[in-house]
Structure 1
């Protein structure tokens, strides 16, 4: 059996065009790439007019992930992340693919939002090609184009435009023919999507431009092979366009820097880059080999070093919506105490503890919208807010935890929670409900006054002992007893003992 290497980090990037695997060795606060694999799966090409991902393309992706999983065998699962981008953001049946893929992979897939993808791309560029100058980073992917302005390692503006080489290839060059009319239509369509961001980006400003991703890498190689130098200039990209027009068809592309498997999507990449350069007034850019995979691994490094951007996001959201910090702290403290008492019995993890703490801090965020059914407002905000560092997957879990922290619950609510995050997420929902209930009166209760026990190994029978010292806390016993009727709908028998 292979030993698990905790000095290695690995990232799997399930993109709209290709699926990438990168493995790196940690050297202090730096990473050195030791292995990489990439397969052109083109998930985005499998989306029909209703955004339904075809079974053929799903199987192609699963076969690729099966091959990659073998390379991950000697990397500790805590040092592996798998992120998915635009194609799985867009696919209406993405969950079906994700469930099948999660059976293959050592860790679950995280679907990231466009802005989170942009943040991670910038992180990869900032560490791979460091610079003190404020700069614009452009990443043209298979399904979307990410635009980021940042300085040093701090992104200042992040956007994701629905412009990608796979979709544009199908839309404008689907039969392989290249002519000036198709090219101009493609450029115009890309400009239309990108121009909405131009004023903000120009106002913030940038001193240099960096390109990343396979599309821009191919263009950089083509420019170099044309003898036009290492810098991608607007004039050089225009020359590439002229060369493509003279070819007339993707099968006739004979540019040394363009590999065979990229020929079909190369004209779309050139058209999108021309649109970006014209909208933002870019005369030249440089290519950087760091992007999403590197950003994911550097994000993992930060988490390992207790500098988790997600904690900052939770704090900022709490402050933005005026969450009662004292109440949040009370609930979080009791939630942590209850968690530690049943952690081993329920098989919960450090990641579960972190998720429960965030939910405890943010469970009342919806009060800023309205008091009636505020748990629904909280749930909506946590599902759709831009939260740096969070994947859509994690935000969905947070959303469900706060949605069911109070009021009536149904059996199918529990089934929905389990489908999203397994039995562990259901247990966290129960712990959060208890923690909120005992603080219904918004007064302090000592951790020592609550003892929680799991009676059977199936975690169906729970008992909580409440050791009340003051009369004003008697209401929490009644609240817990009342909640036992609701928890029974989730298959949990709760016994409440008052001392």
Structure 2
């Protein structure tokens, strides 16, 4: 059975097309469009008209791709920006009218569950792990193993949200950067303290910030799911990349090997969130997973169908 899964995230819209046969996901193909539905949502609580248009247009393109590839089902979820905005339901209704696709706005906990379910699909060692997903609007923390999730928390710190709130100068102003860093730590301190008590040894990262960081670390000319999946990044390498990003202008970041130009303006905030997490948990390496909430969505929905 060929299935399409769409994630309308704060920063980007992503599509996964895959075969789901006998409980396994194979022949995965992913597409990304930087649509920024969450741009400006924190200012007045509403998704802007131009962001709505951008995302409806992108959803139409993804629907067409699914039809061309003969997907039997298309599943679609909306995350942080859609659940935080006052007009999220308006977007859901418009998406149904224009594309025929049902967009399900998922809670932070549901998003965590889907992310963890997806990670398990791509991992061989399924003992106690901490999964983090640094998105555009929020960061999800999930602890669990093959038996399921033991702890999940969604925090409203994300790469786009923190950039809009704090980082206004180019190159980045040190005072603004420090203000952002303090805010992030204050927001997630209780969650980090709780996780620290659990003495987690294995950290797995999903989402655009972490996969982009892995591509930068490997200096990839062309993005490769195979090279990214199950790769490892040391905390030392992350600190070095972060220091370099802070000094670079936006135009310099746009030419950085491994980094999509459309992510260049928010990557520094995303990497800082990761740095704070690893520093406070005293974890020296992060494993990068290319299996995430899209794989989780396909598994969840397809299992219900069977």
Q: TM-score, normalised by structure 1?
A: 0.56
Quick one: distance in 2 between partners of 1:207 and 1:60? 41
CA distance in 2, matches of 1:35, 1:103: 27
**Aligned-pair CA distance for 1:23:** 1.1
Partner residue, 1:271: 272
Alignment of 1:101-180 (within 5 A): 101-152=95-146, 154-180=148-174
Segments of structure 1 that go 5 or more residues without pairing to the other structure are 1-6, 306-499
Looking at structure 1, the residues matched to 120 and 6 of structure 2 have their Cα atoms a distance apart, in angstroms, of: 19
Mapped contact 1:223–1:236 kept (Cα < 8 A): yes
| C-alpha separation in 2, matches of 1:100 and 1:34 | 29
Partner residue of 1:216 out of 210, 217, 222:
210
Shift of 1:153: 5.4
* Per-residue deviation, 1:24: 0.7
- Looking at structure 2, the residues matched to 243 and 110 of structure 1 have their Cα atoms a distance apart, in angstroms, of 39
Deviations 1:352-395 (A, max 9, x none): xxxxxxxxxxxxxxxxxxxxxxxxxxxxxxxxxxxxxxxxxxxx
Q: Identify if the C-alpha distance between structure 1 residues 185 and 232 changes in structure 2 by more than 3 Å, giving closer, same or farther.
A: farther
Partner Cα separation in structure 2 for residue 109 and residue 148 of structure 1 = 24
In the aligned structure 2, how far is the partner of 1:287 from the partner of 1:153?
A: 21
How far has the Cα of 1:199 moved from its partner?
2.9
For residues 15-164 of structure 1, the aligned pairs below 5 Å read 15-47=9-41, 49-73=43-67, 74-76=70-72, 79-152=73-146, 154-164=148-158
| Displacement of 1:26 | 1.8
Whole-Å separation in 1 of the counterparts to 2:30 and 2:246: 34
| Counterpart residue number, 1:321 | none
| Contact 1:13-1:83 at 8 Å conserved across structures | yes
User: Are the aligned partners of 1:127 and 1:153 in contact in 2 as well (CA < 8 Å)?
Assistant: no
Alpha-carbon distance, 1:155 to partner: 1.4
**Are 2:167 and 2:173, in contact at CA under 8 Å, matched by a contact in 1?**
no
The structure, 1 or 2, with the larger RCO (C-alpha pairs under 8 Å, 6+ apart) is: 2
Cα separation, 2, equivalents of 1:175 and 1:101? 35
Q: Cα deviation per residue 1:435-469 (whole Å; 9 max; x = unaligned)? A: xxxxxxxxxxxxxxxxxxxxxxxxxxxxxxxxxxx
Instruction: Output one character per residue of 1:340-362: Cα deviation in whole Å (capped at 9) or x when no partner.
Output: xxxxxxxxxxxxxxxxxxxxxxx
Aligned residues: 294
Give, in whole Å, the separation in 1 of the partners of 2:5 and 2:134: 19
What whole-Å deviation, never above 9, does each CA across 1:124-166 have from its counterpart, x for those lacking one? 0111123232111011001100010111251111110001111
Corresponding residue SS for 1:143: coil
Q: 1:205 to 1:33 in 2, by over 3 A?
A: farther
* Counterpart check, 1:250 vs 2:244: no
Contact preservation (8 Å) 2:185, 2:276? yes
Other structure's SS at 1:38 match: strand
Q: How does 1:297-446 map to 2 (within 5 A)?
A: 297-305=298-306
- Of 184, 197, 200, the residue aligned with 2:194 is 200
Partners of 1:140 and 1:164 within 8 A in 2:
yes
Greater fraction of residues in strand = 2
Offset, 1:46: 3.8
User: More helix by proportion, 1 or 2?
Assistant: 1
Q: Is the 8 A contact 2:142 2:153 kept in 1?
A: yes
Separation in 2, partners of 1:48, 1:13: 20
Tell me the alpha carbon deviations over residues 165-191 of structure 1, each in whole angstroms, 9 at most, x when there is no partner: 111111222343313333222222211
How far off its partner does 1:279 sit? 2.6
